[in-house]
């Protein structure tokens, strides 16, 4: 499946990362900006063909997406290997249980990149594919966040547990509020789908389940908002608790 990257910022991040397989770039004839010049420079460095087109041509290629005068065509975006989740000594992983809306997936990826997490684990079924909509919604963050896909999510969670990762579900039925859990150990945060939340079987395989108090009349938060709230609590705690490698560097410095 061919994908499109629409928009100046998203394309710039994709080029800067060097991780997305861009085949060619279409630019509106009248388009020009400093950022666009940077895109052209990066495309030249990577020998990526650039075509100047009428805006109507870009409108057709973008298929309704806002393109800001630039659209890139990429090969099918690939998923990362499971092992990438363990390249750090204290992984922080997001697990998504059935998030099928591409805008929500892109928004979660954007927040995850801002928190510098190890990667995102998704199931093969009932998960939004890595389309142009996801790239756009992530504001280019998909170029930096590894997405790992597994055939069976429960089996994937069990493999994380075998490797010493604490599995923390986020659900309104959680026994403790999200700020009471210690996220300084290797941790995977599990978020459910937009409407049904965590599936029962997935929740049963969590080591702990925490909740975000809902004080108004709405029963739940959007998954990307919930991810941001919990991830930044983990970031806050970890900032006060150096990792093993950071402690080693501090000891050598002394």
Of 164, 172, 183, the closest CA to residue 236 belongs to 183
Question: How many helices (H) and strands (E) in the chain?
Answer: 9, 11
Nearest-angstrom CA–CA distance, 132 and 187: 29
Alpha helices in the chain (DSSP H): 8-17, 34-45, 55-62, 102-114, 132-137, 153-162, 200-204, 223-239, 244-253
Asked whether residue 220 is domain-assigned, the answer is yes
One domain for residues 130 and 50:
no
User: Looking at residue 243, what is its pLDDT?
Assistant: 65
For the chain, how long is the longest CA-to-CA vector? Answer: 63
Asked whether residue 249 is domain-assigned, the answer is no
3-class secondary-structure state, position 103:
helix
One domain for residues 188 and 108:
yes
pLDDT band at 235 (very low <50, low <70, confident <90, very high): very high
User: Which tokens in the block code for residue 13?
Assistant: 């991040």
Residue 153, domain CATH: 3.40.1280.10
Residue 53, domain CATH: 3.30.1330.30
Whether the per-residue pLDDT at 109 is higher than 70: the answer is: yes
Mention every residue, 6+ apart, whose C-beta is less than 8 A from residue 245.
89
Of 150, 136, 151, 40, the closest CA to residue 84 belongs to 150
Give residue-wise pLDDT tens across range 111-132: 999 999 999 999 998 899 887 7
Mean pLDDT calculated for residue range 18-47: 86
Range among 69-73, 187-191, 249-253 with highest mean pLDDT value: 187-191
Do residues 155 and 145 lie in contact, with contact meaning Cβ atoms separated by under 8 Å?
A: no
Q: Which residues of 213-252 are buried (b: 16+ CB within 10 A; e: fewer)?
A: eeeeeeebbebbebbbebbebbeeebeeeeeeeeeeeeee
């Amino acid at each position: 499946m061919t994908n499109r990257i629409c928009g100046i910022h998203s394309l710039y991040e994709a080029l800067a990362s060097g991780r997305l397989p861009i085949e060619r770039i279409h630019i509106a004839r009248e388009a020009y900006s400093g950022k666009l010049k940077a895109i052209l420079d990066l495309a030249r460095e990577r020998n990526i063909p650039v075509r100047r087109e009428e805006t109507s041509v870009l409108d057709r290629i973008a298929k309704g997406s806002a393109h800001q005068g630039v659209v890139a065509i990429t090969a099918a975006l690939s998923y990362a290997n499971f092992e990438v989740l363990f390249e750090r000594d204290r992984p922080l992983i997001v697990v998504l249980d059935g998030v099928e809306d591409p805008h929500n997936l892109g928004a979660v990826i954007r927040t995850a990149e801002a928190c510098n997490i190890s990667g995102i684990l998704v199931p093969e079924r009932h998960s939004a594919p890595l389309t142009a909509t996801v790239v756009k919604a992530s504001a280019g963050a998909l170029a930096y966040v590894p997405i790992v896909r597994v055939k069976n999510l429960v089996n994937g969670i069990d493999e994380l547990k075998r490797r010493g990762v604490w599995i923390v579900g986020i659900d309104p039925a959680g026994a403790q509020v999200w700020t009471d859990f210690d996220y300084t150990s290797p941790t995977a945060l599990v978020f459910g789908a937009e409407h049904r939340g965590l599936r029962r079987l997935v929740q049963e395989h969590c080591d702990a389940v925490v909740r975000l108090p809902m004080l108004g009349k709405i029963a739940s938060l959007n998954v990307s908002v919930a991810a941001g709230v919990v991830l930044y609590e983990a970031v806050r705690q970890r900032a006060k608790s150096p990792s093993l490698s950071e402690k080693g560097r501090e000891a050598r410095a002394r």
